[in-house]
Amino acid sequence: MGGIVGYIGTDNAVDVIISSLRKMEYRGYDSAGITILNDDLVTYKTAGKISELEKIIPAGFNGHIGIGHTRGATHGKPETKNAHPHLSSNIAVVHNGIIENYMRLKEKLIEQGYEFLSDTDTEVIAHLLHRTMKDNEACSLIDAVRHIMTKIEGSYAIAVLCTDEPDHIVLARKDSPLIIGLGDKNYFAASDVTAFLRYTKNAVYINDMELVQISPGGVEFYNNDGQRIEKQIEVIEWNEEAAEKAGYEHFMLKEIHEQPTSIQDTYAGRISELEGRVILDELKMDEDQLRNLQRVTIIACGTSWNAGCVGKYLFENLAGIHTDVETASEFRYADPVLCGQIFTLAITQSGETADTLAAVKSTKAYGCSSAAITNVVGSTITRETDSVFFTRAGPEIGVAATKSFTAQLIVLYLIAIHMGTVRGRLTPQTTRDILVGIKQLPGQVQRILNNKDVIKKCAEHYANVQDYFFIGRHLNYPVSLEGALKLKEISYIHAEGYAAGEIKHGPLALISSETPVVAIATKGHTYDKVLSNIKEIKARSAEVIVVANESDNEISKYVDRVLRIPDCHELLSPVLSAVVLQLLAYYTALARGCSIDKPRNLAKSVTVE
């Protein structure tokens, strides 16, 4: 994550760029930088927030053309050398996205004599542009950008300055947002419309593989073949607060809708489809250590704990490692039996949950290899474990965890596959099938989002009940726990998640026509068993809502409502089912008029015991 800004106009570019970056700090805030093009490129950048950047910019520093960046680290630690803009001689670049093939490009550029000053993927863009313009002196900046777009793979929104063309900013995008703002003799570019909304409400949304050239006289748009194109100007009606929610009524709904992107961002650069393997540079364990592992102990709270429970099935199924999932608040006071052959894995969106931090600290004396999965760069947990895996979900503002949960699942798949491969447990075919399946998830989540009206109607129909049950087996058991947690925290309806086979050991006594039951009945080896549980429940007159695959034509005979997910690999269905249950909770809370983003009594990050 991160955000880019570009500005050409009559105002002080430093002030405009800094104020625009502030609006995008939510996209990442571990380092920031700015380049102003006067006669030369003058760059200031630093680790830390925008406020740190402001401190190092000398008073009176001014200009009318510039680019800026706020960063949420993906490649390279949050250090000053990795902050953008990145330079190659007379070229400066800011970039939002991930260049997946940067290692190969970097090796070639080093052979050609380029010196790299950062650990980022972005620096290859600056050097590639320089190389292109040096090789062909007639090449314009925009042609050079178009040329390198054929070389770089991955996602990007870039803004480029070059002293050879001191009147231009050139921009391009693929799979990362880029919006142009059109003011009166003032032109803006940003990753998010909120960045320039205080200056202009006229915006142009750039599509994939389109390029833009901004000059003091105006803005030109080009397609990938170099032809000028016309773009429609949209007048943004939102105020700044609504814009931060991108027009959604709540942050939670926005964050649910961001999942196609957050899932993709989380696996980007970590899957080599060519080799059919996972690349986890972050894991600080060698292959021998992985082979000798006796156990994985997952430590987490709340939704992160539910993700950990899915992880248990993954580590056991894919890597053949016994796995325990510990509630951090209990584990910190337990008498754990740990040793050096145990891998402790903390999962925490915020990286600041007090119980999780304390539980992780309590394992230190045992010499276990430790790792954390977190969404927040620079959070406390990142200093407490040997390895850190970042989910790249972007800031999650709604108290109810949504996109962070599915991103945590993605990282868990990747770690489990990596361990399974090293431990000789997975065939190349199985690995490939799951990796291909993971890459299909963003599109499949989008399909669920496109059909959300069915879920909304269902939520509204049951919005006034007092109690809900959620059931599932195997991987779908923790999904049912997560569905119940989501519903109770934002709609205040009492909801319980249960292992479907356990219903008859007590809860069945509570089942009646007043208690709808959500059964996660996706295709898999426990499908028939869940079907039997559904029949037991129907016999007690309860209404049953199932989450089922699109190709399941049978299930509707036995239940009251069916909420569909696309067909997928059995192990991957929790990602899709979770999205359905998030929407069910959201629309239930909406129908009940609840405070969705800030539910009563809850905080986003529980930093006290």
Closest CB to ligand AGP among 118 and 379? 379
Q: Residue 566: count other Cβ atoms within 10 Å of its Cβ.
A: 18
534: phi then psi, degrees, rounded to nearest 5: -60, -40
Contacts (CB under 6 A) with ligand AGP, residues 86-115: none
DSSP one-letter code for 158: E
Query: CB–CB of 485/302 below 8 Å?
Result: yes
Report the nearest approach of ligand AGP to the CB of residue 482 (Å): 8
Report the nearest approach of ligand AGP to the CB of residue 552 (Å): 29
For residue 488, count CB atoms less than 10 angstroms from its CB and return exposed for 0-12, middle for 13-18, buried for 19 or more. Answer: middle
Strand order, beta sheet including 342-348: 322-327, 295-300, 342-348, 369-374, 387-390
3-state helix, strand, coil in the chain (%, to 5): 40, 25, 35
Q: Rule CB under 6 A: say whether 323 interacts with ligand AGP.
A: no
Nearest CA-CA partner of 308 in 430, 525, 481:
481
DSSP H or E stretch at residue 437: helix 428-450
Report the nearest approach of ligand AGP to the CB of residue 399 (Å): 5
Report the nearest approach of ligand AGP to the CB of residue 489 (Å): 6
Three-state DSSP string of 461-516: HCCCCCEEEEEECCCHHHHHHHHHHHHHHHHCCEEEEEEHHHHHHCHHHHCCCCCC
Out of 303, 480, 491, 549, the only residue in the binding site for ligand AGP (CB under 6 A) is 303
| Structural tokens at position 519 | 């059964």
Q: Rule CB under 6 A: say whether 262 interacts with ligand AGP.
A: no
Q: Rule CB under 6 A: say whether 73 interacts with ligand AGP.
A: no
For residue 193, count CB atoms less than 10 angstroms from its CB and return exposed for 0-12, middle for 13-18, buried for 19 or more. Answer: buried
Closest CB to ligand AGP among 24 and 393? 393
State how far the Cα of 310 lies from the Cα of 324, in Å rounded to an integer.
Answer: 11
Choose the stretch contacting ligand AGP; rule: CB under 6 A; options: 95-103, 299-307, 507-515, 533-541: 299-307
DSSP H or E stretch at residue 182: strand 179-182
Closest CB to ligand AGP among 591 and 606? 606
Closest CB to ligand AGP among 93 and 400? 400
Closest CB to ligand AGP among 432 and 598? 598
Q: Rule CB under 6 A: say whether 132 interacts with ligand AGP.
A: no
Report the nearest approach of ligand AGP to the CB of residue 387 (Å): 17
Positive or negative CA dihedral for 560, 565, 571, 575? negative
Tracing tokens 């196609």 back to the chain, one arrives at 260
Residue nearest to ligand AGP (CB): 302
Report the nearest approach of ligand AGP to the CB of residue 251 (Å): 12
Report the nearest approach of ligand AGP to the CB of residue 497 (Å): 13
Choose the stretch contacting ligand AGP; rule: CB under 6 A; options: 12-20, 41-49, 398-406, 540-548: 398-406
Q: Rule CB under 6 A: say whether 302 interacts with ligand AGP.
A: yes
Closest CB to ligand AGP among 323 and 348? 348
Out of 401, 422, 537, 579, the only residue in the binding site for ligand AGP (CB under 6 A) is 401
Contacts (CB under 6 A) with ligand AGP, residues 449-508: 489
Closest CB to ligand AGP among 449 and 606? 606
Report the nearest approach of ligand AGP to the CB of residue 216 (Å): 46
Q: Rule CB under 6 A: say whether 399 interacts with ligand AGP.
A: yes
Tracing tokens 């509630």 back to the chain, one arrives at 327
Out of 5, 160, 280, 400, the only residue in the binding site for ligand AGP (CB under 6 A) is 400
Closest CB to ligand AGP among 193 and 325? 325
Closest CB to ligand AGP among 279 and 606? 606
Nearest CA-CA partner of 26 in 489, 407, 377, 406:
377
Closest CB to ligand AGP among 397 and 606? 606
Nearest CA-CA partner of 564 in 419, 556, 572, 607:
556
Report the nearest approach of ligand AGP to the CB of residue 475 (Å): 19
State how far the Cα of 154 lies from the Cα of 159, in Å rounded to an integer.
Answer: 16
Three-state DSSP string of 223-254: CCCCCEECCCCEECCCCHHHHHCCCCCCHHHH
- Per-residue contact track with ligand AGP, 333 to 372, x per CB under 6 A? ---------------xxx--x--x----------------
Q: Rule CB under 6 A: say whether 35 interacts with ligand AGP.
A: no
| Structural tokens at position 38 | 């006067």
Binding residues vs ligand AGP (CB under 6 A) = 301-304, 348-350, 353, 356, 399-401, 489, 605-606
